[in-house]
Chain A
Amino acid sequence: MNTSYHRGDEPILSDDELAVLERAIEAGEDLEAAGDLERQNAHRSAFELIDKLAAPIRLAIESNNSPPKLEDYEELTEIARGGMGVVYRGLHRKTQRYDAIKVMRPDRIAGAARETAILLRLQFLRESQLAARVAHEHIVPIYQVGESQDRPWFSMQLVDGSSLYELSQTASVSAERMVRYIQQIARAVDVVHRHGILHGDIKPQNILVEHQTDRPLIGDFGLADLAAASSNRPDAGIAGTPAYMAPELARAAIQGQSKDDIAATRSVSTDVYSLGVTLWAAITGRSPCDSNRTPAEQLADVAISNLRCHNEKSIDVPPALMRIIKRCVSRDPESRYSNAGQFADELATWLNRPHWNRHFPQLRRLLWVVVAPILLSSGLMVQSLLSMKANEFWIWLAIFGGYAPLFATFLFSQRIDHVAQQARRELWSIWVGHLCVSLAGMIALHILCEPEVDQVIKFFYPFWAAISALTFFAKSGNFWSGYRWLGVAWSLIAVLLSVTPWAPVVFGTLAATTCLVIARTDRSFLEK
């Protein structure tokens, strides 16, 4: 220990002078040049020596429970605790508005060497200052950045809402809505990337959806590296769960590269990857990794892309959307979207695809309450009319009566937007085509088989089923991909109808069943 602080050598200062000095050191101000510099410097050295020795204990003891004292805020209560900081809810004295305040956790820097601690603090401040520069409606705005009692903090908007993760755990949120959220977030991330800031830790837990406005917001930009750098864990360099991390990052972490090297591996492309996985997880409500495995095993899975979003087919994710996600989560960074904006564009295109139930909100119920029974009874009626040798006119009326509820819905449905209008036009053409071809078939068969009514009907049903198969194939392109399988099914039904003597009943039953299948499984009906 330096002996120059020996009490005997110390010149005497009055308590008042000492208090002035003490306050100056506390405030981090330079000492007054007017005073006795030697004495002041001796005092400062003693202060710093003791403080340096005591700092680790102070940081360890300092209860995380006690919120820091901030000049502008009062009523601080803890609301969340992350790896890097503690988030408090606090009332801003001047604006009388409640904000969220994120304060760096003191124990994060407690164990670190003095230089590292200073570096971390500076980095925390720098990152929050950078993030504060970006203004975007989908980024949690940062209001103030400061430092109090060696703990850097920043205040941001207090978002009243749930995280995307919480929403994904409830079945009521449709894929459509999740895609809209991620599309908006991808736009925001793109803007931030243009400012040269990477997020580094995009996951459903980090995206908040405001209850009142249904607006998704993302925060914590650029803090991922910082969280990793301040971590004392052996697998340091990894921030948070590995599940949303790009494979090249996971590989770098497994190879034991330094934190700086891992940070250098982060790029726009790794953020795009995380956005893709986040979207998959948000829609399916599952983690891309097997949660039964240990974090180390999960990390290995990520590195070799042994993930659920690669291996499993999910009925919840429409194929067109899955193609977009697959491109995001590609192992090769080169084959991903080159920026988040491009990803957002693709999602927007998907969202704006023709969408048939937008203008038929009641169609689902109509399908099983009206259309299915009418088709079934039409089949039964034709069968009984045939057995009664009734007039051909009544038989055709019973057959074509099945079109009535379908066209009624078209006529009574309202015009909504131009996209829905496009879908409506497409459906209209398909079904009018279906009707016209059926009528043409009927007339042709009538001429060919005159006067054998039984014969006409026998030929008509397989033909009618084949026409229906064609319409389902036509719809599968722009609407629900399940129509493809209905098309295949109806092709087979066409063959089946040519061998059964009960064609009208079989047709009616299968048509009614198809209506029920569509009403039950077409996901677009479940969307709000």
Chain B
Amino acid sequence: MKPIQQQKEEDLEKIRPILISLAEAMISPAFRGHIDASDLVQQTLMEAHCRIEDLYSLDDGPFFAWMRAALRNNVLDAIRHLKTAKNNIARNVRESDLQDSFARLDQLLAVDETSPSQVLQRSDEISRLLAALQTLPDKQRMAVMLKHLRGHSLKEVSEILQVSESAVAGLLHRGRQQLLQCMGGEQ
């Protein structure tokens, strides 16, 4: 394997946790048990792997953008599949809204060599946060995601996760500490 291709394969593995976090954040908790974020990401990575010949000429920014677009299509496909299966929750999801959300994410994360440093820094911070989330234990990650990425209140998180509010507060606290530690450690 050519070294540059090998480099891209490594990049794929680096992007994996970011994509999983993105997919998990994007897919409503109501779909848990129907859509598995890591499966979708695995599928996305496989697609990228098959096309690595085409992709290795891309810079990091456009490469990441390609991956996000592929992930978006997979998420939308999964929702459509649920719709045809007459899933009640899926029927109320508007694809245009999901596409809008992805488009806004793209605005946040899209970078190339012409991006101002402020944008680069923010995009980098967001990517590191998303990657760090995957180092947390499942329960903590779910709690932090619901609370901070999906904007649910403590009460709502406890209802979704079906644990007490105190337990959620504990999960959140420990999750945040570990996130900060993990991100601080990288720096």
Interface string of B1-38 (1 = CB under 8 A from A): 00000000000000000000000011000000000000
Residues of A within 8 A of B165 (CB): 19, 22-23
The reply to whether B151 and A62 form a contact with Cβ atoms under 8 Å apart is: yes
The reply to whether A57 and B126 form a contact with Cβ atoms under 8 Å apart is: yes
Is residue A61 within 8 Å, beta carbon to beta carbon, of the partner chain? yes
Residue of A nearest to B180 (CB): A5
Residues of A within 8 A of B167 (CB): 15
Size of chain A's interface in residues, with CB distance under 8 A? 39
Residues of A within 8 A of B54 (CB): none
Bound complex: CA A60 to CA B94 (Å): 15
Q: Which residues 90-120 of A sit at the B interface, judged by CB distance below 8 A?
A: 107, 110-111
Is residue A50 within 8 Å, beta carbon to beta carbon, of the partner chain? yes
The reply to whether A63 and B25 form a contact with Cβ atoms under 8 Å apart is: no
The reply to whether B179 and A60 form a contact with Cβ atoms under 8 Å apart is: no
Residue of B nearest to A42 (CB): B177
The reply to whether A61 and B108 form a contact with Cβ atoms under 8 Å apart is: no
Residue of A nearest to B144 (CB): A50
Residues of A within 8 A of B107 (CB): 60, 111
Residues of A within 8 A of B144 (CB): 50
Residue of B nearest to A110 (CB): B104
The reply to whether A3 and B184 form a contact with Cβ atoms under 8 Å apart is: yes
Interface string of A7-21 (1 = CB under 8 A from B): 100100111101101
Is residue A47 within 8 Å, beta carbon to beta carbon, of the partner chain? yes
Residue of A nearest to B123 (CB): A56
Interface string of B164-176 (1 = CB under 8 A from A): 0111111011001
Residues of B within 8 A of A15 (CB): 166-167, 169-170
Q: Which residues 237-270 of A sit at the B interface, judged by CB distance below 8 A?
A: none
B158–chain A nearest beta-carbon distance, Å: 9
The reply to whether B148 and A60 form a contact with Cβ atoms under 8 Å apart is: no
The reply to whether B151 and A1 form a contact with Cβ atoms under 8 Å apart is: no
Is residue A294 within 8 Å, beta carbon to beta carbon, of the partner chain? no
Q: Which of A21, A47, A53, A63 contacts B101 (CB 8 A)?
A: A63
Q: Which residues 99-141 of B sit at the A interface, judged by CB distance below 8 A?
A: 100-101, 104-105, 107-108, 122, 125-126, 129-130
Is residue A434 within 8 Å, beta carbon to beta carbon, of the partner chain? no
Q: Which of A3, A5, A59 contacts B177 (CB 8 A)?
A: A5
Bound complex: CA A71 to CA B3 (Å): 59
The residue among A49, A60, A65 with the most chain B CB atoms within 10 A of its own CB is A60
The reply to whether A1 and B180 form a contact with Cβ atoms under 8 Å apart is: yes
Residue of B nearest to A62 (CB): B151
Is residue A172 within 8 Å, beta carbon to beta carbon, of the partner chain? no
Is residue B53 within 8 Å, beta carbon to beta carbon, of the partner chain? no
Residues of B within 8 A of A22 (CB): 154, 165, 168-169, 172-173
A402–chain B nearest beta-carbon distance, Å: 68
Residues of B within 8 A of A21 (CB): 169
Is residue A26 within 8 Å, beta carbon to beta carbon, of the partner chain? yes
Is residue A58 within 8 Å, beta carbon to beta carbon, of the partner chain? yes
Assuming A15-B170, A50-B148, A107-B100, is B180 touching A60 (CB within 8 A)?
Answer: no
Q: Which of B26, B94, B176, B184 contacts A61 (CB 8 A)?
A: B26
Bound complex: CA A26 to CA B122 (Å): 24
Bound complex: CA A16 to CA B154 (Å): 12
The reply to whether B177 and A46 form a contact with Cβ atoms under 8 Å apart is: yes
Q: Which residues 39-78 of A sit at the B interface, judged by CB distance below 8 A?
A: 43, 46-47, 49-51, 53-54, 56-65
The reply to whether B178 and A7 form a contact with Cβ atoms under 8 Å apart is: yes
Size of chain B's interface in residues, with CB distance under 8 A? 41
Residue of B nearest to A150 (CB): B151
Q: Which of B98, B108, B173, B183 contacts A56 (CB 8 A)?
A: B108
Is residue A149 within 8 Å, beta carbon to beta carbon, of the partner chain? yes
The reply to whether A58 and B150 form a contact with Cβ atoms under 8 Å apart is: yes
Majority DSSP secondary structure for residues of B touching A: helix
Is residue A6 within 8 Å, beta carbon to beta carbon, of the partner chain? yes
Bound complex: CA A215 to CA B3 (Å): 73
The reply to whether A18 and B108 form a contact with Cβ atoms under 8 Å apart is: no
The residue among A43, A59, A65, A149 with the most chain B CB atoms within 10 A of its own CB is A65
The reply to whether A7 and B169 form a contact with Cβ atoms under 8 Å apart is: no
Residue of A nearest to B184 (CB): A1
B108–chain A nearest beta-carbon distance, Å: 5
Residues of B within 8 A of A14 (CB): 166
B144–chain A nearest beta-carbon distance, Å: 7
Residue of B nearest to A21 (CB): B169
Is residue A391 within 8 Å, beta carbon to beta carbon, of the partner chain? no
Assuming A46-B176, A56-B122, is B166 touching A65 (CB within 8 A)?
Answer: no
Is residue B149 within 8 Å, beta carbon to beta carbon, of the partner chain? yes
B18–chain A nearest beta-carbon distance, Å: 11
The reply to whether A23 and B154 form a contact with Cβ atoms under 8 Å apart is: yes
Assuming A22-B154, A22-B172, A58-B150, is B94 touching A50 (CB within 8 A)?
Answer: no
Is residue A311 within 8 Å, beta carbon to beta carbon, of the partner chain? no
Residues of B within 8 A of A3 (CB): 184
Residue of A nearest to B156 (CB): A69
B165–chain A nearest beta-carbon distance, Å: 5
The reply to whether B153 and A2 form a contact with Cβ atoms under 8 Å apart is: no
Is residue B187 within 8 Å, beta carbon to beta carbon, of the partner chain? yes
The reply to whether B150 and A64 form a contact with Cβ atoms under 8 Å apart is: no
Assuming A62-B150, A63-B98, is B108 touching A57 (CB within 8 A)?
Answer: yes
Q: Which of A13, A50, A61, A149 contacts B179 (CB 8 A)?
A: A50
B17–chain A nearest beta-carbon distance, Å: 14
Bound complex: CA A3 to CA B183 (Å): 10
Residues of B within 8 A of A1 (CB): 180, 183-184, 187
Bound complex: CA A6 to CA B130 (Å): 20
Which residues from chain B sit less than 8 Å from chain A, CB to CB? 25-26, 93-94, 97-98, 100-101, 104-105, 107-108, 122, 125-126, 129-130, 144, 148-151, 153-154, 165-170, 172-173, 176-181, 183-184, 187
15 contacts between A and B (CB under 8 A): A2-B184, A5-B177, A5-B181, A16-B169, A18-B172, A19-B165, A19-B166, A47-B176, A53-B126, A54-B149, A57-B149, A61-B25, A61-B105, A107-B100, A149-B151
Closest 3 CB pairs of A and B: A1-B184, A19-B169, A60-B104
Beyond A19-B165, A46-B177: 13 further Cβ-contacts under 8 Å?
A5-B181, A6-B181, A16-B166, A19-B166, A47-B176, A50-B129, A50-B180, A56-B122, A61-B26, A61-B101, A61-B105, A61-B150, A65-B97
